[in-house]
Amino acid sequence: MGDHSHHHGHGKDLDWNAMGESIELRAEVYRPLYAQIIDAVRERMPDPSLIIDAGSGPGVVSCALAEAFPRAEVVALDNAPALLERAQRRADAAGLRVRTLLGQIPDAFAGLAGADVVWFGHSLHHVGDQKAALAAAARAMAAGGLLVLLEGGLPARWLPRDIGIGRPGLQARLEAAREEWFAAMRSALPDARHEVEDWPALLAAAGLKPAGTRSFLLDLPAPVPPKVRDHLIAMLEREREATAEHLPAEDLATLDRLLDPDDPAGLRRRPDVFLLDAQTVHFAVKE
């Protein structure tokens, strides 16, 4: 299921509007990875006119797309108004052509047509009926259009196996706990439908032609700059709340030390913090 650690809210129901800052920070840290994906999009679609960023959040990627394709109109589609306000502010400040569209996926696609690129960045797995979302996106695409689906990859790693405090292997246990959280999050979604996460098969079921799957690496070795630490601390704070019920007390104590800004063994101060992540992207074309 890949890296879905970055955007978890506190409970099973996410309050997206309150998460603008942390989603934005994460996307900024991941900019080098998104730049590689955008290059891969450009190879397939050199001069798009209309790009839809479906589940854009605060628009870091919408702006990166607008910058990479200055001739295109980028539509940032999301159902969280506070996030779209951030997206609009970011675009205006950079003088980029981004139009925000407040609406629900899949329904909001009905008002869109002729898209050359539809980008789903970690958003599809937050929609209850993922098949309906892909089918609606496909209908809004131009012939020859490209769907770019970011789902799956490897869970991010940011500390060595043995960190000198607590029981080694903390991150592996966090990942297992996160899977429990993720399953509960998905089943609580409106219109929740269970799907086997064979993404190319789901794209094909939406009437699109799968056009390749590739994974992209984010490799930020230690020592990392403060912004990367900020992101990891924000991510771990959310993750601690989301997974607390599934973790042993010893691990919760270790997390508290990692989150303590004054602890030399904490994420703010320790020298061995890095960020290694792999994001899988599934491409599909509308014939």
Ligand X SMILES: C[S@@+](CC[C@H](N)C(=O)[O-])C[C@H]1O[C@@H](n2cnc3c(N)ncnc32)[C@H](O)[C@@H]1O
Q: What is the full DSSP assignment across the chain?
A: -----TT--SSSS--GGGGHHHHHHHHHHTHHHHHHHHHHHHHH-SS-SEEEEET-TTSHHHHHHHHH-TTSEEEEEES-HHHHHHHHHHHHHHT--EEEEE--TTGGGGG---EEEEEEES-GGGSS-HHHHHHHHHHTEEEEEEEEEEEEEEEEE-S-S--SSSSS-HHHHHHHHHHHHHHHHHHTSTT-------HHHHHHHTT-EEEEEEEEEEEEPSSPPHHHHHHHHHHHHHHHHHHGGGS-HHHHHHHHHHH-TT-TTSTTT-TT--EEEEEEEEEEE--
Looking at 57, 145, 166, 266, which residue binds ligand X (CB under 6 A)? 57
Looking at 86, 90, 126, 178, which residue binds ligand X (CB under 6 A)? 126
Q: Which is nearer to ligand X, 63 or 284 (CB)?
A: 63
- Residue 79 touching ligand X (CB under 6 A): yes
Least distance in angstroms from the C-beta of 99 to ligand X: 15
Looking at 45, 50, 60, 117, which residue binds ligand X (CB under 6 A)? 60
Q: Quick one: which segment of 117-125, 195-203, 214-222, 247-255 binds ligand X (CB under 6 A)? A: 117-125
Least distance in angstroms from the C-beta of 178 to ligand X: 14
* Residues of this chain, 85-114, that bind ligand X according to CB under 6 A: 104-105
- Residue 153 touching ligand X (CB under 6 A): no
Q: Which is nearer to ligand X, 101 or 163 (CB)?
A: 101
Per-residue mark of binding to ligand X, 162-201 (x: CB under 6 A): ----------------------------------------
Q: Quick one: which segment of 54-62, 176-184, 246-254, 270-278 binds ligand X (CB under 6 A)? A: 54-62
Q: Which residues bind ligand X (CB under 6 A)?
A: 7, 16, 23, 27, 55-57, 60-61, 78-80, 83, 104-105, 121-123, 126-127
